[in-house]
Structure 1
Amino acid sequence: MFTLRKSLSALAVAGLMLGLGAPLAAAQDYQLNVSTALTPEDPIYKGLEQFRDKVAERSAGKLEVRIFPSSQLGKDEDVLEQARAGANVAVLVDPGRLAVFVKDFGVLGGPYLADGFEGMRKVVTSPLFEGWSKQLHDTSGHQILSFNWWQGQRNLLTQKPVTTPADLAGVRMRTPGAPVWMETISAMGATPTPMGFGEVYPALQQNVIDAAEAQDTATHGARLYEVVKHLTKTHHIGLITGLVTSAAWFDGLPADLQAIVREEALSAGDAASKGTEDATATVDADMVSKGLSIDEIDVTPFKEATAGVYDKLGYGELKKEVDAILAK
């Protein structure tokens, strides 16, 4: 995790870059430390490796990307704050965490928004999304490199079978702390309990929580199948995530490096998303072989239960704009 001294040093460097202009380029003059809660086995991590390698190749070694899996640099929220302060860090985050700074991002984390990656990609490469990104840059000090990192559809992880929202009454379920996630899980019938993803395994093991919800590749990578009995295919949230860095750090890059990191982030996000889709059946089969019950259900009761989430959080009109993009 970054120390205060390192953060202050990053701020000092950012201040020099902003005050004096970009420094003279030399080999490995620039470094970006990328954080993710995921493990190296996750397909998304493979995409980050592609991003690292292609940036090094196209920048002729002037920009080095280093990857830190399993939240080694701290919780996602902490890394976002480091980026906001000007540190040379980036983090792969869900839109709910960005909604703290620009509310409109939260709609992307809403229940049953789009059907799969292609639908979500249409939204996050649209002019509507670019407007949110500019607002984020200007108001919070964050820069989105790309937001097309599909981590799959999130499903329920419980100790007992689940077929309707009533089965989740009184169940303490881990979820990220963003309002749209919390409201979705509450509407589904459970009691939302926010905590870092790295804390989920011991919390389930020690009965601090009763359940969790995650995409299948992350469930497999974190070995959560060892501490739950059922994975129920609710597909309640399609998890699209983005690579977010410091606006001050990004603005201090030469224009050619800015273009490289954005282009390669988009390309790597597409590759990682394809990897996620390919990996889901494989990890499901492996988890079943290890004793996890994977249950297919009729999700209609959950769609009906969560339909009011958008209006309740003030996203009703914005969802109509998203629906129009998806209909094209």
Structure 2
Amino acid sequence: MSRRLLLILVLGVFLVSAVFGAKYTLRFGHVLAPGEPYHQAFLKWAKAVEEKTNGDVRIEVFPSSQLGVEEDIIEQIRMGAPVGWNTDSARLGMYVKDIGVMNLAYFIDFMGAKTPEEAIEVLKKIKQSPTMQKWLKELEQRFGIKVLSFYWVQGYRHFVTNKPIRKPEDLNGLRIRTPGAPAWQESIRSLGAIPVAVNFGEIYTAVQTRAVDGAELTYANVYNGGLYEVLKYMSETGHFLLINFEIVSADWFNSLPKEYQKIIEEEMDKAGIEVSLKIMKELEEEYKQKCIEKGMAVIPASEIDKEAFMEKAKQAYKNLGLENALNQLIKEVKGE
């Protein structure tokens, strides 16, 4: 099926919805399972929006990639279809290169955030910065992508291997699974490991067959994937803090009454902050204990040479031509 035909079918669904239901309907999708905290937070956002617009705006949330693959969804968004998606800055960096800086190793640490609360405050400052406003404007006006919020954080990612990792040199020669996007690949390479792109669902087998020596994941990923059965150590490097972007069609969004636009954005921010703090402060510790109970050994952050890792991470920014973007945000956020 061609993308144009797919768009026509999607628009047809919404015409029917407009006749028999809400004045404005949005189908919002993501790749996570229905039981994930994010899905529940999206449902909460949808309910709040419907209530505050007196039923005029209806948001239907679809988990587990039910709406399709990300590339096709973003294409629909750009063409004006009333759909939305949970993505990240690496993906948006394919349109506005510099925005991809937020997906590189230790980005939030370079911004000066040391706690979950500080991370959220930094994101708020970034949103108001002239540089970010310029990027968001370009995404909207040139590519038709409206960013509703980027206060959605999925927690810190650490190295999970069969040897303890305390300094960059400990990663030398290790084949580490990470997503295939350049931001991830270059970051892992800069930290000292050999990045290997393996599908998320194939990590367990890849470790068993020694296609990889480990991965970089959250505690929840490790526990839910049963990786404690094949990997012994979780080293709390905290190199990535995955920051998600919630996007919709700029054409669709701008067709709404101004008061509805405000409600949609404010409620999205509110839901994102709430679930992000819960993930970083409560769920990470909960899954950490579950991994320990399954026999994993944890190398705590206090034993990690974080300064050495952060110094190594700078090479990825240089290789991807994102040094200036990083430095400009640091200057605007910190007032330096």
TM-score relative to the length of structure 1: 0.84
CA 1:255–1:12: 2 relative to 1, 3 Å: farther
CA 1:224–1:56: 2 relative to 1, 3 Å: farther
Letter in 2 for 1:289: E
Give 1:141-152 correspondences, 5 Å limit: 141-152=144-155
C-alpha separation between the residues in 2 aligned to 1:44 and 1:223? Answer: 21
8 A Cα contact 1:37 1:198, kept in partner: no
8 A Cα contact 1:215 1:239, kept in partner: no
Partner of 2:294: 290
C-alpha separation between the residues in 1 aligned to 2:270 and 2:185? Answer: 31
CA shift digits 1:81-110 (9 cap, x unpaired)? 332233332222221111000011111122
8 A Cα contact 1:152 1:216, kept in partner: no
Partner of 1:54: 48
Partner of 2:76: 82
8 A Cα contact 2:219 2:291, kept in partner: no
C-alpha separation between the residues in 1 aligned to 2:262 and 2:102? Answer: 25
C-alpha separation between the residues in 1 aligned to 2:164 and 2:5? Answer: 49
| Comparing 41-50 and 105-114, the one that deviates more | 41-50
Give 1:67-78 correspondences, 5 Å limit: 67-78=61-72
For these two proteins, the number of residue pairs brought into alignment is 321
The partner residue of 2:185 within 178, 182, 191 is 182
Partner of 2:94: 100
- SS of 1:263's equivalent in the other structure is helix
Partner of 2:10: 10
C-alpha separation between the residues in 2 aligned to 1:71 and 1:200? Answer: 20
| Comparing 63-72 and 219-228, the one that deviates more | 219-228
Partner of 2:317: 310
Give 1:63-212 correspondences, 5 Å limit: 63-114=57-108, 115=113, 116=115, 117=119, 118-201=121-204, 203-204=206-207, 207-212=210-215
CA shift digits 1:12-62 (9 cap, x unpaired)? 789x9xxxxxx9887324332222233344333332122121112112222
8 A Cα contact 2:3 2:72, kept in partner: no
1:274 is displaced (CA, Å) by 1.6
1:181 is displaced (CA, Å) by 1.8
C-alpha separation between the residues in 2 aligned to 1:79 and 1:133? Answer: 19
1:202 is displaced (CA, Å) by 5.3
The partner residue of 1:43 within 37, 46, 50 is 37
Structure 1 unaligned blocks of 5 or more? 17-22
Partner of 1:280: 284
Partner of 2:331: 324
Q: Among all aligned residue pairs of Structure 1 and Structure 2, give the percentage whose two residues are the same amino acid.
A: 34
C-alpha separation between the residues in 2 aligned to 1:8 and 1:200? Answer: 38
- Compute the RMSD of aligned alpha carbons: 3.0
Partner of 1:301: 308
C-alpha separation between the residues in 1 aligned to 2:139 and 2:253? Answer: 13
Letter in 1 for 2:136: S
8 A Cα contact 2:26 2:59, kept in partner: yes
8 A Cα contact 1:111 1:306, kept in partner: yes
C-alpha separation between the residues in 1 aligned to 2:173 and 2:315? Answer: 21
- SS of 1:314's equivalent in the other structure is coil
Letter in 2 for 1:156: F
1:236 is the counterpart of 2:243: no
Give 1:193-272 correspondences, 5 Å limit: 193-201=196-204, 203-204=206-207, 207-272=210-275
C-alpha separation between the residues in 2 aligned to 1:240 and 1:156? Answer: 18
| Comparing 148-157 and 207-216, the one that deviates more | 207-216
TM-score relative to the length of structure 2: 0.83
